Structure 1
Amino acid sequence: MEKERNITSMIAAGLLALAAVVGAPERALAADGAALLAANCLSCHSAQGGSISRVEGQRKTPEGWQMTITRMQEQHGAKVSAEDKRRLIKYLADTRGLAPAETAGWRYLLEHDNNRVETIDGRYRDMCARCHSGARFALQRRSEDEWKLLMHTHIGLNPTLEFHSLARDRQWFPLAVNEVAPALARDFALDARAWKAWQAAPRTALDGSWRIAGFLPGKGAFEGRMRASAAGEDRYELAIEGRYADGALLSGRGVATVYTGYEWRGSVDIDGVALRQVMAADARGERMHGRQHFADSRRMGGALSALREGAAPMVMAVMPAQLRRGETAELTVVGSGLAGAVSLGKGVRVLEVVSRSPDRVVVRARAEGRDGLNDVAVGSARGKGLLAVYGRVARVEVEPANAIARVGGPGDAQMQKVGVAYRAIGWAAGRDGKAGTADDLRLGYLPARWSIEAADEEAEKAHDADFVGHIGADGVFVPGDAGPNPARPKSLGNTGRVNVVATVEAAGATVEGRGKLDVAVPDFVQRALD
């Protein structure tokens, strides 16, 4: 009975608050969220001084709150409708989210850019990151009591945890509760200045027209315009028009929701392909940066940037982003408010303006002078360090440098293949003339010829490069089929270790770069959580 009175009281309080703010949409939405939280959570959680137990002691990203509610549904039988779940995630992310400064450095997890090698404090590496990515816990904020309760939850749900590697050789649980939890509470504090400052900062609506530039595997670099029309509750309807670097046109439509005042999450369909956008807006709502990936293959994607039109004129990109000395080439300058003379920096002559509009200028240019990153200007619109001028490519890096692909299928929707999209980054030697030193000049992404080779002697003996999969001319690696392969000794599956080789032809010279690729079994755990 007491719990029922609490539920009634919380719901009534939320409804009274809602009625009191008619004509004030933002406050009304907050009151609606509070009532919704009470209605869906108080059957299990208790009311404590106007707040709800466990919820009050945590802050998370939108994805973090989505995982929490999904866990309540799957493990505890919580009955939450799809619409209520959407509204709860929005409310919790807005009121108990993370500030921009708190997500900086960890956003690759939100963007599903997962082929990263993390650098993590040793305490957390051996205690937490032996199972999770470091970004998994770094994108949460909890009180010390909540961090301790998380340790108890781990051991309760996974009672064999203490017998795992890096746990069975020490007193894992006492260390977790008595040493790691207090450290987490200090390093990832619940009551942080950054969050308080962000809560007090004014919010900028992200509707209007945006110039966008990015990259998609198999498609290449692109640029265009995205129009966002307000649809209420920080939701926007999107219309996209643009073109790829090869001149092919693109168009699409979609929707987006903004969480916590800056977290942009979009779902778009471009020429029949479903895509997801994950971006963060700056404090003034003039720029957004993040990643766009395929909806059915989240790890396959590329960078995405957006510049609000109507702000100060600005150059956002040059395509391609490099020009070799003594070479004449056609360059496309992308931005907003591009009116006036075109300058590509010291040592670069603009020979001809091929075409121009307020957001796109195509020129023929020739480079002389020294190696360096040149600023680019079109009238009063400027972009810093956007064009690399160089004499020769000294070395090539493969991005990602370390990656995991997973076999899958054939024809099994539950075990889809997980591929990897590769790009080649060129570098010129620094002033000392030696490649591989700190002052090397980054040239940006270069066209390359792609191949794979055995990673080591054991992989050579097993002929891994013949079975693990293939890489296309576009740099996209597609792994082989799951299951036994009779063509291999002992019917070994199509897993193995290879190097991905990028071969760049520049000025008559051939330069190669290599990245490491492990082709592993299907991602069973991930599929179970989806």
Structure 2
Amino acid sequence: MGQKPRGPGRWPGLLLGAVAGGVVFGGALTAAQEALADDGRMQGRALVEERCSACHQKEADGSLHRIDHVRKTPEGWTMTLFRMRQFHGVALSDEEQRTLVRYFADRQGLAPEEAAPYRYVLERRPSVVEEPVTDGDLSVMCARCHSVARVGLQRRDEDEWRRLVNFHLGQWPTIEYSAQGRDRKWWEIASTEVPQTLGGKFPFKTDAWTSWQAAPKPDLSGRWAVAGHRAGIGSYGGTATIAKEATRDGDGYRITYDLTDSAGKPLKGEGRSTVFTGYEWRGTGTLDGKPVREVFAASRDGSRLDGRWFLTQQDEVGGSLHAVRAGGADSMILGTSQSFLKAGSTARITLWGSGLDRGEVGFGPGVSAKILSRGPTSVTVEATAAADAAPGARSLTVGGAKAGGFAVYATLDSIRVEPDFTIARVGGNGGPVPPMTAQFEAVGYLNGPDGKPGTADDVRVGPMPASWSVEPFNDAAAQMEDVRFAGAMGSSGLFTPAGAGPNPQRQFGTNNIGDLKVVGTVIDGSATLTGTGRLISTVQRWNDPPIH
């Protein structure tokens, strides 16, 4: 049986392959392309009037009931339209849904600073432990089913939040009798405290959104310097060339990647994107021959792009991306091929960024740097740390550019497994849902001024070569032989879960879930250091929307 892709690949409002138009290499859209964009916006409103107004009646001010009183991300609008098609029989083609998502996201989206705290869920980052929105009941009223980000990526006034509560009770009548509902005055809390709290924290009208609506939207075409990191693989950097593409909304781009990894291996790629709300980049393409999706955010002035790419069918597998415009007046260091240097050693290190073809390259006292190759977006050096080089955090400099995130060490003080807690999911084995893997890194640390490991002032050195193993996390895991059945840990720190479905070899014929301690072991000279984390390998996620 074929395996269906997980995540946003199934949601037509964010599928980008059907975008039509020609490529424009930089500059503003032509008059014909502006007309095409205007036509797209007009078509969006016409679709709203034609398909939505039968149920969502016009109010006294001309707005449509409920529809015009909510702001969401592109993913949020995609989910709303999917629900309208699935549960209410609204007739929309995939192309019409894409048109409406673009229309709503541009007209009723979130400002960059409103979406920023919750970008982790849009970028499908694994291993994020959320912080509660407030103390008290809200975490069990909403977050027992949803992520905090799902709430935080919407904007409504108090009355509209209350209508959402009413919708939940109408759609799922047993909600107040389920776990963490029947032990409190659920309806009283849900209909009074929750709308008041959410209306105050996530209101419909904000200065941020008013400001962003009035602001000019950046043109992202041009040449960019890029750097990023993929856990278990390492860092990469290079350039990306973005070309504007005429679409019905005038917000399409093509991107071509010319990157190298930390070992100097080329990483090529290309893709197409739609930019929603003036800054929300959603792309699809290939990188190193693999199909990927891109979720980036442009800065207000269009000088930066930050976000994450991930494999289309395995969104837990991906890497960060940070980009600035190449050729700008200011120099900037975005990343390095490695983040540390051991005292008394020499290493070939590449720095990626913009404006790196001018000025001296420095790693601080006790470290010399011989330039091997150099260009505007990268400089490769042979760096040597003296045997008596002072250990600790260092600032890297290239001309006027300065960046942290580098360390010199003589001996490591501790190892931490990162993430220290995460989950994997069984899958495959003839079923429609592929397994969800988990990637770990063994990260070296130096003690900070307090001289104690595991405290806030520790100095992060970086990911180290390690050997990996798993152990039962507790007595119950040992009794159930979780190490034997739950999956396999690879030499790179990648855990691959076992197949889905009941296993007749296990006690009770249960499936291949497990509760495991992950052990990363690092050899540092004559010392052996270990770090541990926790991995729960659990069952499939059958409902996998763009925002959980």
Using the size of structure 1 for normalisation, the TM-score is 0.91
Partner of residue 49 from structure 2, selected from 38, 45, 48: 38
**Identical aligned pairs, as a percentage?**
39
CA distance in 2, matches of 1:88, 1:476: 40
Could you say which residue in structure 1 is the equivalent of 2:198?
Answer: 184
CA distance 1:528–1:257, change in 2 (3 Å)? closer
Cα distance, 1:487 vs. partner? 2.1
Give CA deviations for 1:121-178 in whole Å, capped at 9, x if unaligned. 2332121111111111111111111111111111111111111111011221221011
CA distance in 1, matches of 2:272, 2:34: 26
Partner of residue 376 from structure 1, selected from 396, 399, 419: 396
CA distance in 2, matches of 1:501, 1:370: 30
SS where residue 88 of structure 1 aligns?
Answer: helix
Partner of residue 97 from structure 2, selected from 46, 60, 85: 85
Q: 5 Å matches for 1:210-359?
A: 210-216=224-230, 219-232=233-246, 233-311=250-328, 312-359=330-377
* Equivalent position amino acid for 2:72 in 1: K
* Equivalent position amino acid for 2:176 in 1: E
SS where residue 308 of structure 2 aligns?
Answer: strand
Partner of residue 201 from structure 1, selected from 206, 212, 215: 215
* Equivalent position amino acid for 1:455 in 2: F
Higher relative contact order (CA 8 A, sep 6+): 2
Of the structure 1 ranges 253-262 and 40-49, higher mean CA displacement relative to structure 2 is found in 40-49
SS where residue 192 of structure 2 aligns?
Answer: helix
CA distance in 1, matches of 2:317, 2:146: 21
Indicate conservation of the 8 Å contact 2:231/2:441, yes or no: no
Structure 1 unaligned regions, length at least 5: 1-20
Could you say which residue in structure 1 is the equivalent of 2:532?
Answer: 514
SS where residue 150 of structure 1 aligns?
Answer: helix
CA distance in 2, matches of 1:252, 1:84: 29
Could you say which residue in structure 1 is the equivalent of 2:8?
Answer: none
Cα distance, 1:451 vs. partner? 1.7
CA distance in 1, matches of 2:63, 2:366: 62
Could you say which residue in structure 1 is the equivalent of 2:84?
Answer: 72
Of the structure 1 ranges 130-139 and 486-495, higher mean CA displacement relative to structure 2 is found in 486-495
Give CA deviations for 1:262-294 in whole Å, capped at 9, x if unaligned. 111111212331111111111221111111111
Could you say which residue in structure 1 is the equivalent of 2:19?
Answer: none
Partner of residue 138 from structure 1, selected from 145, 152, 156: 152
CA distance in 2, matches of 1:33, 1:372: 56
* Equivalent position amino acid for 2:404 in 1: G
Indicate conservation of the 8 Å contact 2:281/2:297, yes or no: yes
Q: 5 Å matches for 1:158-177?
A: 158-177=172-191
CA distance in 1, matches of 2:342, 2:298: 34
Cα distance, 1:246 vs. partner? 2.1
Indicate conservation of the 8 Å contact 1:391/1:428, yes or no: no
CA distance in 2, matches of 1:527, 1:317: 32
SS where residue 68 of structure 2 aligns?
Answer: coil
* Equivalent position amino acid for 1:398 in 2: V
CA distance in 2, matches of 1:454, 1:326: 39
Give CA deviations for 1:493-517 in whole Å, capped at 9, x if unaligned. 2111001222222233222221211
SS where residue 170 of structure 1 aligns?
Answer: coil
Q: CA RMSD in A?
A: 2.2
CA distance in 2, matches of 1:278, 1:507: 41
SS where residue 524 of structure 1 aligns?
Answer: coil
Cα distance, 1:474 vs. partner? 2.2
CA distance in 2, matches of 1:153, 1:114: 30
SS where residue 71 of structure 1 aligns?
Answer: helix
Could you say which residue in structure 1 is the equivalent of 2:67?
Answer: 55
Partner of residue 152 from structure 1, selected from 144, 153, 166: 166
Cα distance, 1:24 vs. partner? 6.6
**1:439 partnered with 2:440:** no
Indicate conservation of the 8 Å contact 1:317/1:383, yes or no: no
Cα distance, 1:351 vs. partner? 4.3
CA distance in 1, matches of 2:299, 2:63: 31
**1:119 partnered with 2:123:** no
CA distance in 1, matches of 2:273, 2:34: 24
Cα distance, 1:26 vs. partner? 6.0
SS where residue 178 of structure 1 aligns?
Answer: helix
* Equivalent position amino acid for 1:35 in 2: A
CA distance in 1, matches of 2:271, 2:201: 38
**1:128 partnered with 2:148:** no
Of the structure 1 ranges 424-433 and 80-89, higher mean CA displacement relative to structure 2 is found in 424-433
Could you say which residue in structure 2 is the equivalent of 1:17?
Answer: none
CA distance in 1, matches of 2:117, 2:406: 26
Q: 5 Å matches for 1:485-504?
A: 485-504=503-522
Of the structure 1 ranges 418-427 and 71-80, higher mean CA displacement relative to structure 2 is found in 418-427
Indicate conservation of the 8 Å contact 2:252/2:272, yes or no: yes
Give CA deviations for 1:105-134 in whole Å, capped at 9, x if unaligned. 211111111422222023321211111111
Could you say which residue in structure 2 is the equivalent of 1:409?
Answer: 428
* Equivalent position amino acid for 2:166 in 1: H
SS where residue 239 of structure 2 aligns?
Answer: strand
CA distance in 2, matches of 1:528, 1:441: 36
Give CA deviations for 1:233-262 in whole Å, capped at 9, x if unaligned. 211011112222222212122101111111
Indicate conservation of the 8 Å contact 2:235/2:338, yes or no: no
CA distance 1:447–1:154, change in 2 (3 Å)? same
Indicate conservation of the 8 Å contact 2:238/2:378, yes or no: no
CA distance in 1, matches of 2:490, 2:78: 36
CA distance in 1, matches of 2:546, 2:296: 27
SS where residue 52 of structure 1 aligns?
Answer: coil
SS where residue 154 of structure 1 aligns?
Answer: helix
CA distance in 2, matches of 1:341, 1:529: 45
SS where residue 98 of structure 1 aligns?
Answer: coil
CA distance 1:446–1:202, change in 2 (3 Å)? farther
Q: 5 Å matches for 1:359-374?
A: 359-368=377-386, 369-374=389-394
Could you say which residue in structure 2 is the equivalent of 1:18?
Answer: none
CA distance in 2, matches of 1:147, 1:393: 51
Cα distance, 1:455 vs. partner? 0.5
CA distance in 1, matches of 2:408, 2:209: 42
CA distance in 1, matches of 2:384, 2:180: 58
Indicate conservation of the 8 Å contact 1:301/1:421, yes or no: no
Q: How many residue pairs end up in the alignment?
A: 508
SS where residue 226 of structure 2 aligns?
Answer: strand
Indicate conservation of the 8 Å contact 1:333/1:360, yes or no: yes
* Equivalent position amino acid for 1:47 in 2: K
Indicate conservation of the 8 Å contact 2:258/2:267, yes or no: yes
CA distance in 1, matches of 2:530, 2:54: 61
Structure 1 moving runs of 4+ over 4 Å: 21-29, 527-530
Indicate conservation of the 8 Å contact 1:314/1:337, yes or no: yes
Cα distance, 1:23 vs. partner? 6.1
CA distance in 1, matches of 2:394, 2:360: 13
* Equivalent position amino acid for 1:73 in 2: R
CA distance 1:528–1:330, change in 2 (3 Å)? closer
Of the structure 1 ranges 157-166 and 415-424, higher mean CA displacement relative to structure 2 is found in 415-424
